Amino acid sequence: MANGLLERAHRTMKESLASMCESTFQWSEKLLFFKLYYNRSIHSVTKFAPAEIFFGRKQNLPLDSFVEPVTVENESKYLKNSRNNMCSIRNEFAKNEEQYFKNNAPLIKGRKVPNFNLGDKDKKTKQLVQQIEESNTKDHLAKATEELQKAIFAASRKAYKIKNFKLKINNNWWNQSLQIKKKELQALKRRNNKSEDDNKLKYQLQLSKKQAELKREAKKAKGNSFRNTCTKTTDPYGRPYKAVVKNKHPPAELFKQLGNPSSGDTKSFALKILQELYPPSHSPATPTNCFPLIQEPQIIKNEIRRILKKAPTKKAPGFDAIDYIVLKEVNNSFPEILHTFYNKCYQLHCFPEPLKKGIIVLFHKDGKEADKIKSYRPVTLLPTIGKVLEQILLRRLNHTLKKKNIQSKESQPVRFSRG
C-alpha cells in the first residue's frame, strides 16, 4: 500500500526485532504494540485503517481483540452487521478514491496512454464494415480499401505524436563586423553596471543606441544573405535545396548521373529505369488444364492475430504510412474491420489494386559505377495491410500442399519475402 505510515511501521518493526534478538524479551507484549500501530495506520487513499476495513471499527488498546464468539443464536445478526459494515466502508472507499483522483488529476493526466480511435467508434466502424461487405466487384473493393487506409491514417495522426526534430541552422549571414559590434555592446553593458549614479544615465543612452544599431545591422545582413542565396543560384537543386534536405540526392541529380538530360521528362525516364530493373518475362503460355477447386474455410480472427503478433515493428511502411504498430492497434481495438476486409478479398478472389502500389527506393551498390542503372539495388515499400493478406494466403497454400501431398519432397515450401 502506498502509505508512508505503514512503511515506517514496517521499518521500525524490522529494526526492533533485529535488536531484540540479542536479548530476552516477551513476544506477546511486543507484538501487541506492533499490531496496534499497524491497525491504526490510516491509508493515504482510502482514509481508513486496516482494522476499519477488515473489522469495521478502530483498535483503541493493545489488548483490544477483534475476535468475537459466534454461536448459532447470534450468527444471523453477526453476518448482517458484517455486511452492513462492509457496504458502508465500500461506499466511503469509493468516495475517497474519487476525491483522490480528482485532486491529483493534473498529475494522472500526463500518464494516460493515447487512445486509438477511428472517429465516432461505433458509427465509423459500422460504416467501414458495411462498405466492405457491400463491395461486389474489384472496383468497389478498391474504393473500400482506399477509404480504410484513409481512416486508419487519420486515426493514427490523432493518436500518436509526431516527433519534431530541431534543425541546427548555420548562420551564414553573421559576419566579422557584427561580431565586433556585439563585443562593443557587451563591454558597454559591463561599464554601465560598474558606473556610479552620475554617469549611469549617459551609459544607458549609449547602450540603447548600440542595441538598436546592432539589431538593425543584423536584420539587414540576414535579409541580404537570404536574397543573395535565392537569386544567385541557377540550379533548383543547389544550395537552397541542400540546405533543407542535407545529404539526400534529388531525383534530377540521379537522372543526370544515369544519362538523362535535366530538361527531359523525369516520369518517362523513371519508367525506363523500372523496365530495366524489372524486365517483362516472356514465359510460354500456361496450359489451360482445369484443376478441381478446393473449398477453403473463411479467414478467422486468430489467423490475423498470430501473423500480426510476429510482424516486425521496425519495418518501413508503404505509401499509406501505416506501419505494423498501427495495424496491430487497429486489430486490437477494431478486429471486425480487418476480419471483414480479408474475408471479402478471399471471397472475391481479388487482391485490391491500392495494395499493389509501392514506393521504389534505389540504393547505390558499393564499388559500382554511378552512371549505370544496374549499379542500384531497388527496394519496394508495400502497404502492410497487403503484406498481412499475402501471409494469410501463403500459410494456407503451404498447409494445403502439405495436407494434400501435392508438393514434391525435394522442393522447399513457399517462403514469404522478409519485411
DSSP structure string for 63-128: T--------TTTHHHHHHHHHHHHHHHHHHHHHHHHHHHHHTHHHHHTTPPPPP--SSHHHHHHHH
**For residue 173, how far is the Cα from the chain centroid?**
39
Answer whether residue 150 shows pLDDT above 70: yes
Question: Taking Cα atoms as reference points, which of 170, 149, 164 lies closest to residue 383?
Answer: 149
Among 30-39, 268-277, 319-328, which range has the highest average pLDDT?
Answer: 319-328
Phi-psi category of residue 390: left, alpha or beta, with phi > 0 → left and psi -120 to 50 → alpha = alpha
Q: What is residue 112's predicted lDDT score, i.e. its pLDDT?
A: 46
Residue 419, helix vs strand vs coil: coil
Q: Which has the higher per-residue pLDDT, 81 or 1? A: 81
Position 250: which residue type? Answer: P
Could you tell me if 50 and 41 are in contact, meaning their C-beta atoms sit under 8 angstroms apart? Answer: yes
Across the chain, what does the average pLDDT equal? 77
Answer whether residue 68 shows pLDDT above 70: no
Position 254: which residue type? Answer: L
Handedness of CA 381, 384, 389, 394 (dihedral sign): positive
Q: Which has the higher per-residue pLDDT, 370 or 71? A: 370
Question: Taking Cα atoms as reference points, which of 331, 346, 329, 383 lies closest to residue 159?
Answer: 329
Among 50-64, 191-205, 236-250, which range has the highest average pLDDT?
Answer: 191-205
Q: What is residue 103's predicted lDDT score, i.e. its pLDDT?
A: 76
The whole-angstrom separation of Cα 326 and Cα 335 is 13
Q: What is residue 301's predicted lDDT score, i.e. its pLDDT?
A: 92
Instruction: Please report where in the chains the cell 481495438 appears, as a residue.
Output: 333
Answer whether residue 62 shows pLDDT above 70: no
Question: Taking Cα atoms as reference points, which of 221, 223, 201, 225 lies closest to residue 213?
Answer: 221
pLDDT, one tens digit per residue, over 75-126 is: 677 777 777 877 887 788 778 777 777 777 665 555 444 555 665 556 778 8
pLDDT (mean) for 407-417:
62
Question: Taking Cα atoms as reference points, which of 361, 354, 356 lies closest to residue 380?
Answer: 361
Q: What is residue 157's predicted lDDT score, i.e. its pLDDT?
A: 84
pLDDT (mean) for 190-208:
85
Position 336: which residue type? Answer: E
Answer whether residue 169 shows pLDDT above 60: yes
Q: What is residue 2's predicted lDDT score, i.e. its pLDDT?
A: 45
Percent of the chain past pLDDT 90, that is, above it, reads 20
Answer whether residue 154 shows pLDDT above 70: yes
How many C-beta atoms lie closer than 10 Å to residue 132's C-beta?
Answer: 24
Q: Please name the residue ranges forming H helices in 261-383.
A: 266-277, 301-309, 324-333, 335-348
C-alpha cell at 238: 543547389
pLDDT level of residue 1 (50, 70, 90 thresholds): very low
Handedness of CA 395, 401, 404, 405 (dihedral sign): negative
Q: What is residue 35's predicted lDDT score, i.e. its pLDDT?
A: 73
Read off the pTM. 0.53
Answer whether residue 141 shows pLDDT above 90: yes
pLDDT, one tens digit per residue, over 237-274 is: 666 666 666 555 555 556 665 655 445 556 677 777 77
Q: Which has the higher per-residue pLDDT, 58 or 111? A: 58
Percent of the chain past pLDDT 70, that is, above it, reads 67
